[in-house]
């Protein structure tokens, strides 16, 4: 994930969120590239956004929502996950062609809205939410 792409994602989320949120954009290892917490966002949204991006960047799923579905079906697999992984919606992997280049986590809205905003931010930065 290039820094410029991460900034586009952060700005997109800040400009389009219907309420205060936190956003965390990570590289393909789940490490910080850019982040922001909007005025009025609950303090716990910071860590939630970070964990969502980390999970989407490091797991084999395209999103935290997809990972939750996968884990629901297999208790043994669920027990083997990285303890920092989360299953809350709003973490989405970003792809440049077939390569996962990072992920974004959005927290502060209902899960489906966090997820939709994350996906829109990825597309706004010129990346994709699926391998191509």
What is the secondary structure of 3-40 as a DSSP string? HHHHHHHHHHHHHH-SS--EEEEEETTS-EEEEEE-TT
**Tokens 């939410």, residue located:** 129
If one looks up domain 3-124 in CATH, what number appears?
3.30.450.150
Q: pTM of the entire structure? A: 0.94
- The DSSP bridge pattern shows strands 22-27 and 99-107 to be antiparallel
CB 25 within 8 A of CB 9: yes
What is the reported pLDDT for 94? 98
Q: What is the DSSP letter of 37?
A: E
pLDDT values of the chain reduced to their tens digit, one per residue, 132 residues = 999 999 999 999 999 999 999 999 999 999 999 999 999 999 999 999 999 999 999 998 999 999 888 888 777 666 667 889 999 999 999 999 999 999 999 999 999 999 999 999 999 999 999 998
Query: Could you give the 3-state DSSP secondary structure of residue 7?
Result: helix
């Amino acid at each position: 994930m290039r820094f410029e792409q991460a900034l586009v994602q952060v700005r997109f989320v800040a400009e389009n969120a219907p309420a205060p949120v936190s956003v965390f954009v990570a590289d393909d290892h789940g490490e910080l590239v850019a982040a922001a917490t909007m005025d009025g966002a609950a303090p716990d949204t910071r860590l939630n956004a970070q964990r969502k991006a980390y999970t989407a960047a490091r797991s084999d799923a395209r999103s935290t929502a997809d990972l939750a579905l996968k884990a629901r079906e297999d208790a043994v697999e669920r027990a083997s996950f990285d303890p920092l992984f989360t299953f809350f919606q709003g973490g989405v992997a970003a792809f440049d062609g077939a390569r996962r280049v990072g992920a974004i986590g959005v927290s502060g809205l209902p899960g489906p809205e966090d997820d939709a905003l994350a996906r829109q931010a990825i597309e706004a930065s010129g990346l994709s939410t699926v391998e191509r």
